[in-house]
Amino acid sequence: MDINTLIEVALIIVKVIFVSLILFTLPIPLTWIERKVAGHIQVRLGPFRVGPHGILQPVADMIKLMFKEDIAPEKADKWLFRFAPLFAMIPAFAVYAAIPFGDKITIPIINKEVTLYISDMNVGILYILAVGGISVYGIILGGWASNSKYALLGGIRSSAQMISYEIALTFSCIGVVMTSNSLSLLDIVKFQSGTILGFIPNWNIIYQPIGFVIFFIAALAEINRIPFDLPEDEGSLAAGYHVEYSAMKFSFFMLTEYVAMVTASVLAVILFFGGWDAPLFMPEIPIFWFVAKVGFFIYLFMWIRFTLPRYRYDQLMSIGWKILLPLSLLNILITGLFLL
């Protein structure tokens, strides 16, 4: 193996570690932001006591979670109970192997071109959806292994919900794939550069408005956020599938949820909002626009969370099967017709 290959491999390892670290630490600011957003939307201040403006609150929470007693129910399936958080977490992280954060940048000192993605798969979107789908195992097993009726119901609800909405999610992506003519995310982003008529960004949202709506709704359901956070319905299920979890195992689930939220935002940006493409004559800054757009979507998720009430379970299912699924098929049909 020559030196270049070694550098490539090293670079990939560095990127993997870098991305993982970011993902691991991401919930720390995100929880803080979420609580702040919640506070302000409810005309409160949110966390304020730990650190300036409560900025250290998530750290305090983290420390608390680390040192809490790790309790497993006596009649729980011990192995599955322990592995369920991992089942949930690993796919959520694995998804990032295929996600591009930008095109290429040149690192100034060593004057080396570095791609801002771990790998460019030609089936990237499929990979993401497939691997993302595995996350459901964590939830379903966590619910089952707890040997608790609330957890089991939460788990079952969750898996049913995820399977249902995964279909709509995938179908909504197909429209994008059809317009972009590629399964690779890099290609999809590249397709969206430029403008239409000189002032409208050439983003998929223009071609696929229905697709985006479906994608967005399905993503909300897929990542279990309000208004579709039925699995952890406090009112009727105590806390859903992770009711028996505590300490670090519980925090893994939380981590998974936050990472999933980021993934959903990232996908929305890449598929429909041009990825790192700067909007409208704005200067091209590596990663910045990408992060900004993702940040907006994350904020949107939080915003929605504190705006809408939770759906009823039967409503959730009927939306998924009776509205989103036919609509997404229709979308594919229309897209196909346009392409012809």
Partner 1 sequence: MSIFKKIFFIDFIKGLSLTLGYEVSKSVTMRYPDEEKWAPYQRFRGLHTLNRDAQGRELCVACELCAKACPTKCITVVPMEDDKGIGISDRIAKVYEINLVRCMFCGLCEDACPTTAIRMGRDYELACFSLDCAAADKKRLLAPREIPQEFEGGYVVMARLERNKEGINIKPDLTRKKRWW
Partner 2 sequence: MEQIFFYIFAIATVASAIAVISLRNPVHSAISLMVCFLQVAALFILLRSPFLAAVQVFIYVGAVVVLFLFAVMVLDLGKERFGEYLHHQRPIALVVVIGFVFVMGFTILHGSLDAQLGNYTEKALVKNTEIMGKLLFTKYVFPFEVVSLLLLIALIGAIVLAMKEKR
Residues forming contacts to partner 1 in the complex (CB under 8 A) are 37, 39-45, 48-49, 213, 303-304, 306-308
Instruction: Tell me which residue of 162, 296, 131 sits closest to 229, measured CA to CA.
Output: 162
- Nearer to partner 2 by C-beta: 166 or 232? 166
- In angstroms, what is the minimal distance from the CB of 37 to partner 1? 7
166 binds partner 2 (CB under 8 A): yes
Phi and psi at residue 113, to the nearest 5°: -85, 130
Candidate segments 22-30, 138-146, 211-219, 249-257, binder of partner 2 by CB under 8 A = 138-146
Candidate segments 22-30, 152-160, 190-198, 245-253, binder of partner 2 by CB under 8 A = 152-160
- Cβ pair 4, 272 in contact under 8 A: no
State which of positions 62-81 bind partner 2 (CB under 8 A).
77, 80
Exposure of 279 in the CB half-sphere (CA atoms within 13 A) = 11
- In angstroms, what is the minimal distance from the CB of 123 to partner 2? 5
- In angstroms, what is the minimal distance from the CB of 9 to partner 2? 11
- In angstroms, what is the minimal distance from the CB of 286 to partner 2? 26
In the block, tokens 């006591």 appear at 49
137 binds partner 2 (CB under 8 A): yes
- In angstroms, what is the minimal distance from the CB of 199 to partner 2? 34
In the block, tokens 């729980």 appear at 76
144 binds partner 2 (CB under 8 A): yes
Residue 194 gets the label, from left (phi > 0), alpha (psi -120 to 50) or beta, of left
Question: In the structure encoding, which two tokens stand for residue 261, read together?
Answer: 């939220």
- Cβ pair 120, 186 in contact under 8 A: yes
127 binds partner 2 (CB under 8 A): yes
Phi and psi at residue 70, to the nearest 5°: -90, 110
- Cβ pair 196, 280 in contact under 8 A: no
- Nearer to partner 1 by C-beta: 128 or 219? 219
- What does the alpha-carbon distance between residue 158 and residue 137 come to, in Å, rounded to a whole number? 10
Chain positions contacting partner 2, by CB under 8 A? 77, 80, 121-123, 126-127, 129-131, 133-134, 136-137, 140-141, 144, 152, 155-156, 159-160, 163, 166, 170, 183
